[in-house]
Structure 1
Amino acid sequence: MDDAAVLEKKGYSLSVTLGEGSYGKVKSAYCNKLKCNVAIKIIDKRKTPRDFLERFLPREIAALKRLHHPSIIKTYEIFETSSGKVYIIMELGVKGDLLDYIKITGAMKEDFARLKFQQLASAIKHCHDSDLAHRDLKCENILLDKDLNVKLSDFGFSKSLSRDENGRTILSKTFCGSAAYAAPEVLQGIPCDPKISDIWSLGVILYTMVYALMPFDDSNVRKMICIQKQHRIPFPKSKYLTTECKDLIYHLLQPDVSQRLCIDDVLRHSWLQTSKSEIPTSPSAAEIVCQGPEVTVKSTSENFQVTVLLTDTFLTRFSSF
């Protein structure tokens, strides 16, 4: 029995293909019960590697059943047929993914970016509070509903975290994700807390939201890691950003994992607390010194200094692991 016939018996009218990946495809359908369009992820277990079936698919299904948050894609139903096909019925991100949105509309204004990033960060807090790391945070995995609300999706590489006898998170030794969004410790193969690595990915996403550019060029990963470890972040002079927004990006893209923010610190950051009427540039918060193609930001409220290059990079879709 083909997919259309299987789904019709369940009350779904299959429509167009939304995307195809290595292990399955996603189609849209109309749900008679819900009276709305949904997304259906179809995985043929007969055509997928054993490692995926034994490790990643069970993790994804477990995460989808476990997570319930307004900014995480909703899962309505999961079922498997005798022929070995798994159907995951999910909320449809009718406005597509964040990367496509940015490519069409350009860089977000700070007020709008703040709202979207706050939604995303709250979704990550829900995951991390549940001892679950996403491990593949990127603009392509952030969907938007009809009102442009964030819906975090694709938990195929997510991992439930275990703790040792002292209550400390057991470090992850399995590495996955996209090079352009991955933290330097992941790219270097260093055992790490994947929740902390998620925070780096949030920094890449926020940067992309406000600049419509990627912060680092991953065409040469070794060179990129070197730049990241030096904490060199390019803040293009082509767009003005408040000191608070740059400060948050700076702390998210912190190469030292012991100094990187946790998700609660992210949500407490001043940029996410500032309303539209309270966004003046604060000379007391940072002194900006320009020297040719470089700018140095010296914080007086916190003990840091960072030199960034005033160069533009190109927004590119990355999908390599």
Structure 2
Amino acid sequence: MDDAAVLEKKGYSLSNTLGQGSYSKVKGAYCNRLKCKVAVKIIDKTKTPGDFWERFLPREIEALRRLHHPSIIKTYEIFETSAGKVYIVMELGEKGDLLDYIKITGAMREDIARMKFQQLASALKHCHNLNFAHRDLKCENILLDDGLNVKLTDFGFSKPLSQDKNGKTVLSNTFCGSAAYAAPEVLQGIPCDPRISDIWSLGVILYIMVYALMPFDDSNIKRMIFFQKQHRIPFPSTKHLTVDCKDLINHLLQPNVSQRLCIDEVLKHSWLQTPNSTIDSPLPAIEEGECSQNPREEKPKQNNRRHRTSAEVNKRLNAIVLKRPIS
């Protein structure tokens, strides 16, 4: 029985393909019960390596079943057929991913970036409080709903944390995610608490929000790690950032893991304590006049597992044509 027939029996009308990954595809669908559009991730276990469906898929399903937060993509239903296919029905990110949003709007004003970042950090706090590390934080895994609210997604590399007999967190030494967003200790294969490595990825995302550029060039990993360990973060003079915003970026992209902020410290940082900064505030739509869109690409894909290099990300972002400076 094909996917459309399986889903029709469950009350879903299948439509277009939203994304294609190494071991899965994501389709759009309409749910007759919920009366709304949804995204359906389809995984064929017969075509995946044993390590994936024995380790990574169970972790992803466990995360989706346990993590419930306004800024995390909602999971409506998970079911498996006798033919070995797993279907994960999720909330649809109507407005695509964060990278595409930045490509259209350009570097964000700090007030806009603050609201989005606060939603993202709040979602990550929920994960960390439940002892889950995401391990693949990047702009492509941050979707925006119809109101442009942040929705963290793609928990395919997530990991539930465990403790040893002394109650200490068991460290991870597995490389996951994209090199351009990965912390230096991950790239070097140094055992680490993956929650602290998530914080580094938050720093890369915040940098992209406010500059519409990647902070580091990953075309040469050894050279990139050298600059990261020197704590040499470029702050282009083309845009003014407040001292507080730069300070937060500096603390997030801290190569010394013992000095890097934890998620609670991130949310308490002075940049996020600005008056009128709330997690539930509606986010502004694309502002007319800031930038013009010159895309030559398709609409953003939901849960596309292909990892882009920093050069590819910058190429997407550099398609922006600025009409006036952004204050």
Q: TM-score, normalised by structure 2?
A: 0.85
Distance 2:227 2:183 in 1: 12
Residues 116-135 of structure 1: CA deviation (Å, up to 9, x unaligned) = 00000000000000011000
1:137 corresponds to which residue?
A: 137
Q: Does 1:225 align with 2:225?
A: yes
**Residues paired across the two proteins, number:** 283
Q: Per-residue deviation at 1:275?
A: 2.4
Partner of 1:189: 189
| d(CA) in 2 for partners of 1:314, 1:7 | 35
1:231-250 map, 5 Å: 231-250=231-250
Q: Which runs of 5 or more structure 2 residues have no equivalent in the other structure?
A: 278-311, 317-327
Asked if the contact 1:44–1:85 (Cα under 8 Å) also holds between the matched residues in 2, the reply is yes
Match of 1:98 in 2: 98
**Structure showing greater relative contact order (alpha-carbon pairs closer than 8 Å, 6 or more residues apart):** 2
In the TM superposition, residue 173 of structure 1 has moved relative to its aligned partner by 1.9
Instruction: Give the conservation status (yes or no) of the 8 Å contact 1:170–1:193.
Output: yes
Aligned positions of 1:161-172 closer than 5 A: 161-172=161-172
What letter matches 1:159 in structure 2?
K
SS in 2 for 1:205: helix
Counterparts of residues 69-148 of structure 1 (less than 5 Å): 69-148=69-148
In 1: Cα distance, 2:133 partner to 2:315 partner: 25
- Aligned partner of 1:315 in structure 2 is 314
Identity within the alignment, %: 81
Equivalence for 2:270: 270
Q: Which whole-Å CA distance do the structure 1 matches of 2:50 and 2:83 have between them?
A: 17
Deviation (angstroms), 1:276 = 6.3
Q: Partner letter of residue 129 of structure 1?
A: N
The answer on whether the counterparts of 2:136 and 2:177 sit within 8 Å (CA) in structure 1 is yes
Structure 1: gaps spanning 5 or more residues: 278-312
- Structure-1 residue corresponding to 2:13: 13
4+ runs deviating over 4 angstroms: none
Query: Equivalents in 1 of 2:13, 2:234: separation in Å?
Result: 48
TM-superposed CA distance for 1:165, in Å, is 2.7
Q: CA deviation at 1:175?
A: 1.6
Residue 27 of structure 1 deviates from its aligned partner by 0.5
Amino acid at match of 1:141: N
How large is the Cα RMSD of the aligned pairs?
A: 1.5
CA contact (8 A) 2:200 2:252 kept: yes
Larger Rg: 1
* Richer in strand (by share): 1
What SS does the corresponding residue of 1:315 show, helix, strand or coil?
helix
How far does the alpha carbon of each residue in 1:60-113 deviate from its partner, in whole angstroms, 9 at most, with x for none?
Answer: 000000000000000000000111110000000000000111111111110010
Q: Does the CA contact (< 8 Å) of 1:180 and 1:217 recur in 2?
A: yes
**1:168 Cα deviation after fit:** 1.6
Amino acid at match of 1:217: D
> SS of 2:17's equivalent?
strand
Counterpart amino acid of residue 40 in structure 1: V
TM-score (norm: length of structure 1)? 0.86
Q: 1:178-226: per-residue Cα shift (whole Å, max 9, x none)?
A: 0000000000010000000000000000000010000000000000000
